[in-house]
Amino acid sequence: MAIALGKDCTVSFAGSTIYSARNVTLTESARTIDINPYGSRYAAVYSTGYECSVSVEFNDGADLGSAFSLMHTGGTFQVAGGQGGFSFNAVMTSITETDPIDGVATFVVEGRMTDPRLTR
């Protein structure tokens, strides 16, 4: 059984690699619709495609400047690597900052894949 370490994943904002990235999470999910025929208690579920979202955690506030700029202009960031060898652009959808009183500030950037042809 292979163990995926994820050490080869890279994230870049505006062409600059984010070296403080600590955790990258990919979520692939199917989009579905429910069809419930009139008078029936049974609901059929059909897939209408899929989507992929990415979440990147990092701990260097210096990387935030380009992240805010990308989000405000509808820009994309790049994610590549991992055990499966994925590579795609993602539209930045949110930035979360956590500032614990007794710890290190962390930032989470989330995005959604822009190209439906996720390569692995």
DSSP H or E stretch at residue 64? helix 64-73
Quick one: pLDDT at residue 1? 45
Quick one: pLDDT at residue 110? 92
With beta carbons less than 8 A apart as the criterion, state whether 56 and 24 touch.
yes
With beta carbons less than 8 A apart as the criterion, state whether 75 and 16 touch.
no
For the chain, which ranges sit under pLDDT 70? 1-7, 61-63, 82-84, 115-120
Q: What are the backbone angles phi and psi of residue 33, rounded to the nearest 5°?
A: -125, 150
Question: How far is 24 from 22, CA to CA, in rounded Å?
Answer: 7
pLDDT in tens, 38-69: 877 888 889 888 888 899 888 876 667 778 88
Task: Map tokens 């403080």 to a residue.
Answer: 20
